[in-house]
Structure 1
Amino acid sequence: MKQCVSGYPFQPVQDPDSPVDVSIIVPAYNAELWLDECLTSVFQQDFGGVLEVSLYNDGSTDGSAEIIQRWTPRLEERGIRVIVGGHKDQRPRGVGYAKNQAIGQSSGRYLCFLDSDDVMMPQRVRLQYEVAQRLPKSIIGCQVRREPPDATERYTRWINSLTPDQLLTQVFTSHGPTIIMPTWFCSREWFCYVGQFVEDGQGTPEDLLYFYDHLRRGGGVHRVDECLLLYRYHKHAATHSVSEETIWRNRVRFLEERVLEHWPSFTIWNAGKQGRKLYRSLTPRHRDKVVAFCDVDANKISKGFYTFEESEKRPKPRIPVLHFTEARPPFIICVKLDLTGGGFEDNLRSLNLKEGEDYYHFS
């Protein structure tokens, strides 16, 4: 078989009428620094089926369009179909819009999401495709390698080490989706059943909102436990445009909907800033279900109660503050993992509780 310079075998040019198995969805905005490496990783996929890359240029003002134009014949010679769309407005319309456009112009039975600043390992499409065929209602993710290596170390550890059960139980944490957007792989049929990405523009957590809708529809979450993506961290990343408060509000509402709605009462684990913020953020009906705060801090416990300043129409609630060994589950835990040298984790394990039943993390 004819070989290309990189050592990856060329695929024969596919029959233009044959159905596309996988569409790689690549939204691009001012990505000239990374786009060559990104598209090289598309070129190097060892997938044996019919592959397509769908690029949507969201009004880039740099050299992204020229890079895409240069890569198109190379990819097509490789047997990879190329679909290119975009607009030339002076302002980008947002990541959600660009992703929806890239999906709409594509035709694959499965969708493989790839950010223009990230890089796939050669086996990514093949391995995720194999799993997605068995799990047609799931979003399939993978482990990642962060670039630069010392960026967001705790976050990267969390992404890669969640157990299969925690992919569903830890969806309320501050980290966001338990499988990150650039690793998503799913069937087109399921994606369309859930709906499109929100197109509210910059500052919208479109991936988190879609992930929540996916779970509401009964979708599954699965991770291929191999590192299949180089995930870049840089100051221009779209994720930095989303405020922490926007993420917080959406997390609280989803927690109330999925968990607190079904609990008659619960304890907030953390009598400090994060625990009190969660309490204040709850709707009055769910706030009334809080029977206690718990902590290990002797100063907080010694105060006895947390008093919440509320409107004059209602009496100020006084919520007991207990040592964690004296509190009763279920718990909503507002303590960040992997920050106390294992101390918090040891305390939690000592109670012999089950995650997803006796407690959920909201840290």
Structure 2
Amino acid sequence: MRARGDPAAAAAAAAAAPHVSIILPVHNAEPWLNECLESVLQQDFEGSMELSVFNDASKDKSMTIIEKWKVKLEGSGIPVVIGGHASPSPRGVGYSKNQAIAQSSGSYLCFLDSDDVMMPQRVRLQLEAAAQHPTSIIGCQVRREPPNSTERYTRWINQLASDQLLTQKGTRGCGEELVSGSPGAAPSPRHPPWIRGPLAGSQREQVFTSNGPTVIMPTWFCSRAWFSHVGPFDEGGQGVPEDLLFFYNHLRKGGGVVRVDQSLLLYRYHPDAATHSVLETTIWTHRVRFLEERVLPHWAAFTIWNAGRQGRRLYRSLAAGTRRKVVAFCDVDENKIRKGFYCHEDSQERPKPRVPILHFRAARPPFVICVKLDLTGGAFENNLRSLHLQEGRDFLHFS
């Protein structure tokens, strides 16, 4: 926590160019803002730090709370930059983040949502990781609030770890070496044991799932230089997945992904969260296009694992040329397998495509897997493991 009651120290800290800028977009955040801003004050980072707030047309008492905390924070040596607008309608999260970044001056950017709470060590530990990985997005583990909300998603956020990192060797173009060892192995002497990454192997392959970025946006930390190279955020407004689009562009430019394996953020789930404004169909379209851009051009043929609704939906969503690469569906459902094929009735081709449906043991990789993980009591995961395949080379997860 910042020292209080020392005016000389506070003035010296305020005069120094900040090393870290905490980026905080705000829109009608009154219920959570006091706890969020208290967590800024409680950071144990001893270097220079500023808070950059952008108020996106809030109609509640958010600005009153911000002005109150500005006095407290600056009294503890944390300068506060406040921007915003009072238009009738908000301009969206992407616009607000871009504005908060533009008015800030730190060498590193720590992103914070106004309904979340940072643990005291967040800035210190993520800065340590970012200094070692200047072209990476740094994330962290989270604690969900309420505790039982989105249990599967929270497990996915927190448990993509070293055993999965080992499914690929090297970093495939991100310019940094993989630092996680096998389970139980000693960590690299250059990396504290709580740092996992760069996640350039299997975690890169997990970027095609419906879960989105493999380190979630509210945990992001990166250098300003790297953000400027990749960004800015899309400013399309409500309904645009600005974090997913930025993350895809980050990967296109060879960026890495590193996770600090400590819970550094209280991540709230509530009905008013901005993420609920993004339609699943919008995210689906971006995911399919990214899959077609990044992976499928390199495969001469592939099998879709799941002859049910999600597998057929993926097939229908593919461009015509990519659909022709699908040599089969595979499944375990005897009724689907007995039918023998899937006919794409909406196709304009004549004759209409008829794609074989095979048992998974009779199908050949690579596979695009459209089966949701953690829902079959381990049956699907056991079937996949029994084939002794390598993630990223022989299969990738899409659902």
Normalising by structure 1, report the TM-score.
0.96
For 2:230, the equivalent position in structure 1 comes to 194
Matched residues, percent identical? Answer: 67
For 2:383, the equivalent position in structure 1 comes to 347
Q: Residues 311, 119 of structure 1: CA spacing in aligned structure 2 closer, same or farther, 3 A cutoff?
A: same
CA drift of 1:260 comes to 0.3
Q: What root-mean-square deviation, in Å, do the aligned CA atoms of Structure 1 and Structure 2 show?
A: 1.5
Spell out, residue by residue over 1:240-259, the C-alpha distance to the aligned partner (whole angstroms, 9 max, x if none): 00000000000000001110
Spell out, residue by residue over 1:175-194, the C-alpha distance to the aligned partner (whole angstroms, 9 max, x if none): 11110000000000000001
CA drift of 1:167 comes to 2.4
For 2:192, the equivalent position in structure 1 comes to none
CA drift of 1:261 comes to 1.0
Instruction: State the alpha-carbon separation in 1 of the partners of residues 355 and 3 from structure 2.
Output: 70
Secondary structure of the residue aligned to 1:34 is: helix
Secondary structure of the residue aligned to 1:13 is: helix
Instruction: State the alpha-carbon separation in 1 of the partners of residues 368 and 66 from structure 2.
Output: 47
Secondary structure of the residue aligned to 2:126 is: helix
Moved more, 84-93 or 13-22: 13-22
Secondary structure of the residue aligned to 2:11 is: coil
For 2:371, the equivalent position in structure 1 comes to 335
- The match for 1:278 among 299, 307, 314 is 314
Instruction: State the alpha-carbon separation in 1 of the partners of residues 266 and 378 from structure 2.
Output: 28
CA drift of 1:195 comes to 1.7
| 1:240 maps onto 2:282 in alignment | no
For 2:56, the equivalent position in structure 1 comes to 58
Q: Residues 222, 86 of structure 1: CA spacing in aligned structure 2 closer, same or farther, 3 A cutoff?
A: same
For 2:145, the equivalent position in structure 1 comes to 147
- The match for 2:28 among 22, 27, 30 is 30
Spell out, residue by residue over 1:211-257, the C-alpha distance to the aligned partner (whole angstroms, 9 max, x if none): 00000000000100000000000000000000000000000000011
CA drift of 1:18 comes to 2.2
For 1:84, the equivalent position in structure 2 comes to 82
Instruction: State the alpha-carbon separation in 2 of the partners of residues 2 and 145 from structure 1.
Output: 24
Normalising by structure 2, report the TM-score.
0.88
CA drift of 1:2 comes to 9.2
Secondary structure of the residue aligned to 2:312 is: helix
Amino acid at match of 1:181: M
Amino acid at match of 2:103: Q
Task: Answer whether contact 1:140 1:184 (CA < 8 A) is retained.
Answer: yes
Q: Give structure 2 stretches of 5+ with no counterpart.
A: 166-200
Amino acid at match of 1:323: H
CA drift of 1:313 comes to 4.6
Amino acid at match of 2:100: A
Secondary structure of the residue aligned to 1:42 is: helix
Spell out, residue by residue over 1:31-86, the C-alpha distance to the aligned partner (whole angstroms, 9 max, x if none): 00000000000000000110001000000000000000000010001111100000
Instruction: State the alpha-carbon separation in 2 of the partners of residues 79 and 18 from structure 1.
Output: 10
Secondary structure of the residue aligned to 1:231 is: strand
Amino acid at match of 1:186: C
- Listed as ranges, the matches of 1:31-46 within 5 Å are 31-46=29-44
Instruction: State the alpha-carbon separation in 2 of the partners of residues 166 and 228 from structure 1.
Output: 23
Aligned residues: 359
Amino acid at match of 1:340: T
Amino acid at match of 1:226: Q
For 1:321, the equivalent position in structure 2 comes to 357
Secondary structure of the residue aligned to 2:350 is: coil
For 1:133, the equivalent position in structure 2 comes to 131
